[in-house]
């Protein structure tokens, strides 16, 4: 795509404004997973913005999940990178990954892993006096979560671009909510971020991986279906949804 950085910036700022994600003076903690999404988010947030306040403080944090046999290699690469761009950075070493994949929790490791990682980010945000945590979830993530919750969670919901926690003490924001994954990957290739592989043993055969492949197959047969799913989440006709007084619907 011609002028990809400008396209991404405009769409990020549109999402930020639509959901009132950022105000002047905000202190924002950016969660860095090691993948293209979080590095792209950090890069775009620290660029000069046109329609969104540049008067913000950005701090980066990486929660080391405990999967890697040599975590110091990834951590060293991250530290070198963040020093080069002059962004304050913090690493939290944990055993969240093995704990979530323990024998006692083998049926739903992703839920516990995500929850514990998020709680660790809240702890870091408190230490750094940040009230907002920015995550690299994008348009594809929102669509996939919507289908995961329908197929496996028995509810109609998805991740929100802006989500309040602890009665407004903290907010999780997702400024890439309007941007497709393929564009993020292209941007990351152009900028040669110090990416590293996701070593989670579940990542290749999780429910999310299944849904991702399902959407990919549907897109091959019916071009535009992914965008239709995304728009459907904003076009909910409650009068045509099943209503029940039963709190435990069958």
Longest dimension (CA), the chain: 58
H/E segment holding residue 173: strand 170-173
Q: For the beta carbon of residue 43, count every other beta carbon within 10 angstroms.
A: 18
| pLDDT number for residue 108 | 73
- Concatenating the DSSP letter of every residue in 86-121 gives T--EEEEE--HHHHHTSGGGTT-HHHHHHHHHHHHH
What predicted TM-score, i.e. pTM, was given to this entire model? 0.92
Q: What is the pLDDT of residues 63-120, one digit of tens each?
A: 988 777 777 888 888 999 999 999 999 998 888 877 777 776 666 777 788 888 999 9
Measured distance CA(157)–CA(239) in Å, rounded: 17
Measured CA to CA in angstroms, residue 114 lies from 34, 65, 153, 211 at distances of 15, 10, 16, 18
- Concatenating the DSSP letter of every residue in 21-45 gives ---TT-EEEEE--SSHHHHHHHHHH
Of residues 243 and 181, more confidently modeled: 181
* Closest of 133, 125, 137 to residue 40, by C-alpha: 137
| pLDDT number for residue 67 | 74
CATH superfamily of 4-240: HUPs (3.40.50.620)
Of residues 100 and 165, more confidently modeled: 165
Q: Is the pLDDT of residue 39 over 90?
A: yes
Measured distance CA(176)–CA(14) in Å, rounded: 10
| pLDDT number for residue 193 | 94
Cβ-proximal residues to 211 (8 Å cutoff; 6+ apart), any chain? 144, 147, 148, 151
* Closest of 3, 81, 80, 20 to residue 46, by C-alpha: 81
Measured CA to CA in angstroms, residue 159 lies from 111, 136, 145, 199, 225 at distances of 13, 12, 7, 24, 19
Q: For the beta carbon of residue 65, count every other beta carbon within 10 angstroms.
A: 26
Where are the chain's structural domains? 4-240
Query: Average pLDDT for residues 7-33, to the nearest whole number?
Result: 97
CB 113 within 8 A of CB 97: yes
Distance of CA 187 to the CA centre of its chain: 16
């Amino acid at each position: 795509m011609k002028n990809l950085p400008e396209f991404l910036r405009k769409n990020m700022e549109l999402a930020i404004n639509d959901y009132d994600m950022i105000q002047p003076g905000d202190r924002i903690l950016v969660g860095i997973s090691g993948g293209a999404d979080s590095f792209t988010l950090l890069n775009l947030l620290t660029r000069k913005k046109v329609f969104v306040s540049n008067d913000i403080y950005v701090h980066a944090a990486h929660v080391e999940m405990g999967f890697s046999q040599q975590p110091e290699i990834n951590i060293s690469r991250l530290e070198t990178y963040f020093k080069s761009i002059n962004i304050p950075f913090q690493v939290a070493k944990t055993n969240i990954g093995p704990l979530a994949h323990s024998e006692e929790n083998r049926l739903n490791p992703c839920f516990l892993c995500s929850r514990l990682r998020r709680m660790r980010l809240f702890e870091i945000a408190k230490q750094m006096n940040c009230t907002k945590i920015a995550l690299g979830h994008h348009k594809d993530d929102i669509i996939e979560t919507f289908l995961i919750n329908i197929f496996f969670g028995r509810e109609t919901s998805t991740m929100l671009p802006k989500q309040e926690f602890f009665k407004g003490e903290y907010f999780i924001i997702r400024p890439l909510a309007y941007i497709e994954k393929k564009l993020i990957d292209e941007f990351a290739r152009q900028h040669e971020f110090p990416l590293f592989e996701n070593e989670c043993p579940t990542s290749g055969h999780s429910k999310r991986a299944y849904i991702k492949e399902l959407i990919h197959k549907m897109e091959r047969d019916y071009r535009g279906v992914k965008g239709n799913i995304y728009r459907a989440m904003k076009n909910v006709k409650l009068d045509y949804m099943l209503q029940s007084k039963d709190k435990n619907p069958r």
